[in-house]
């Protein structure tokens, strides 16, 4: 057997594989660099106009900043806003218990009959616990903290609950109607979208005139035509439950929003229904018509088509619009600032308006920054809860 000469043995140095591997690695690095260069402008814009303002607001919140930077105060601004950190802890724990109660109740529908009763019982116990802990924590915060800021949070929640469900429901119905083969639907689509592109301040001034306390205002003339008593509308600080049902001195959130806040909520619904309608129309256009045809062959009516096909397949669009709308209501400012009146006695001062008053009227920049950071954390928490609770119900086909 002839041995191979040493000069004919292939060496690692003479093999082309290392050069090939180095070339592949350089190509990978080049592709990554190209990708990073493409996203660099977007990252720069988000950093300058997004992350930097948030970071600077956090920085300001640790100082007694009044026009000029003052001494470092640590968490004093946050202490002033929330009052009692034990109350904050109880409040947060109460909502965690409430979320666990929801999980137990949801699990009850998925479990067998013998275990479903145990889950329902556990959900009821957790619900009672949350009902006891949340008010306890809130009471401690209200007694020691900034009442104006803390009371603006339930007002903001009332505004969100008064606008978002109505916007989505009306927009879905309008989109379903405009998606049919009706005459002039393009004109109506444009008509419903006009409030969204109308300048907010100008339209808010018009609504303020329509919902004034004068008997000659449009809203009061409408009530007079129906034989109902005139109302103060934007000048009314009493809760709607007291005006409609005569329920006085209800505790906490049970009192409901004031009539002034409901009047402003009507403006929010009027403004965003058209935008939501357009998005729903896009969602309806993505539903395959073969599904409707097959269901009609099986004898399904219009109501069954809407309930069993349209609603499930529109759930991703509905979830997106609900998420965006809820975040938007917690940041609403322009029209509320224009439409609020002193006679409303602060019942329309949502969190963003309260923060602006702290910043602009009181010139407490550091404290306003702390309030803004707290609102930011609340929005993040609510967005997380919405994703966990409603995101699982979305049907993606």
Collapsing DSSP states into helix, strand and coil, what is residue 181? Answer: coil
Q: Is the pLDDT of residue 8 over 60?
A: no
Q: Are 179 and 193 in contact (CB under 8 A)?
A: no
Give percent of the chain with pLDDT exceeding 70: 93
Whether 235 has a pLDDT exceeding 60, the answer reads: yes
Q: Please name every residue paired with 63 in a beta bridge, in sequence order, or none if there are none.
A: 72
Enumerate the β-bridge partners of residue 239. 258
- Three-class secondary structure assignment of 188-205: HHHHHHHHHHCCHHHHHH
Q: E strands within 287-337?
A: none
Instruction: State residue 4's pLDDT score.
Output: 47
Per-residue pLDDT of 40-95, as tens digits, reads 999 999 999 989 999 999 999 999 998 889 999 999 999 999 999 999 999 999 99
Q: What share of the chain is helix, strand, coil (3-state, %, to 5)?
A: 75, 0, 25
Domain boundaries, the chain: 19-60, 84-144, 146-393
More confident: 138 or 397: 138
pLDDT, residue 7, reads: 47
pLDDT, position 18: 61
User: Would the pLDDT of 31 be above 60?
Assistant: yes
Q: Which of 155-164, 182-191, 192-201, 284-293 has the lowest mean pLDDT?
A: 182-191
Q: Are 264 and 281 spatial neighbours (Cβ–Cβ below 8 Å)?
A: no
In this structure, how many other beta carbons lie within 10 angstroms of the beta carbon of residue 84?
18
pTM beyond cutoff 0.75? yes
| Sequential DSSP letters for 350-388 | -HHHHHHHHHHTS--HHHHHHHHHHHHHHHHHHHHHHHH
- Backbone phi and psi for residue 72, each to the nearest 5 degrees, phi listed first: -70, 130
Confidence of residue 251 (pLDDT cuts 50, 70, 90): confident
Query: What whole-number distance in Å separates Cα of residue 259 and Cα of residue 212?
Result: 12
- Alpha-carbon distance of 238 to 219, in angstroms, equals 18
DSSP single-letter state for residue 132:
H
Confidence class of residue 16 from pLDDT cuts 50, 70 and 90?
low
- State the pLDDT at residue 1: 44
Strand partners, 66: 68
Rounded Cα distance, 228 and 245, in Å: 14
SS3 state of residue 63? strand
CATH (one of 3.40.190.10, 3.10.129.10, 1.10.3720.10, 3.40.50.12780) for 146-393: 1.10.3720.10
Q: Which of 253, 215, 258, 219 is nearest to 235 (CA)?
A: 258
């Amino acid at each position: 057997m002839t041995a191979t000469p040493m000069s004919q043995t292939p060496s690692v140095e003479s093999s082309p594989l290392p050069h090939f591997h180095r070339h592949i690695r350089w190509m990978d690095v080049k592709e990554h660099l190209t990708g990073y260069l493409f996203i660099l402008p977007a990252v720069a814009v988000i950093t300058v106009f997004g992350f930097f303002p948030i970071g600077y607001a956090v920085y300001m919140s640790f100082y007694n900043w009044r026009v000029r930077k003052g001494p470092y105060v640590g968490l004093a601004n946050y202490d002033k806003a929330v009052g009692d950190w034990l109350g904050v802890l109880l409040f947060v724990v109460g909502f965690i218990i409430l979320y666990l109660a929801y999980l137990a109740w949801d699990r009850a529908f998925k479990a067998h009959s013998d275990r479903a009763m145990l889950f329902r019982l556990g959900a009821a116990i957790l619900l009672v616990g949350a009902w006891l802990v949340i008010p306890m924590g809130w009471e401690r915060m209200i007694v020691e903290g900034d009442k104006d800021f803390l009371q603006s949070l339930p007002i903001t929640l009332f505004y969100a609950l008064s606008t978002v469900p109505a916007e989505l429901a009306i927009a879905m119905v309008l989109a379903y109607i405009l998606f049919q083969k009706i005459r002039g639907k393009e004109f109506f689509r444009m008509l419903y979208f006009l409030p969204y592109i109308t300048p907010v301040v100008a339209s808010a001034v018009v609504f303020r005139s329509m919902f004034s306390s004068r008997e000659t205002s449009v809203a009061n003339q409408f009530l007079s035509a129906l034989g109902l008593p005139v109302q103060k509308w934007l000048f009314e600080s009493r809760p709607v439950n007291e005006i409609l049902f005569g329920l006085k001195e209800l505790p906490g959130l049970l009192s409901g929003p004031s009539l002034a806040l409901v009047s402003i909520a009507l403006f929010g619904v009027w403004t965003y229904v058209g935008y939501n309608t357009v998005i729903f129309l896009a969602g309806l256009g993505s539903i395959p018509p073969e599904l409707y045809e097959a269901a009609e062959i099986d004898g399904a009516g219009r109501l069954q088509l809407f309930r069993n096909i349209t609603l499930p397949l529109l759930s991703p669009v509905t979830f997106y619009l609900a998420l965006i709308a809820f975040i938007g209501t917690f940041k609403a400012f322009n029209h509320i600032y224009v439409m609020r009146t002193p006679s409303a006695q602060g019942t329309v001062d949502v969190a963003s308006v309260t923060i602006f008053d702290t910043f602009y009227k009181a010139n407490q920049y550091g404290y306003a920054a702390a309030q803004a950071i707290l609102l930011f954390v609340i929005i993040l928490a609510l967005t997380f809860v919405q994703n966990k609770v409603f995101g699982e119900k979305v049907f993606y086909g």
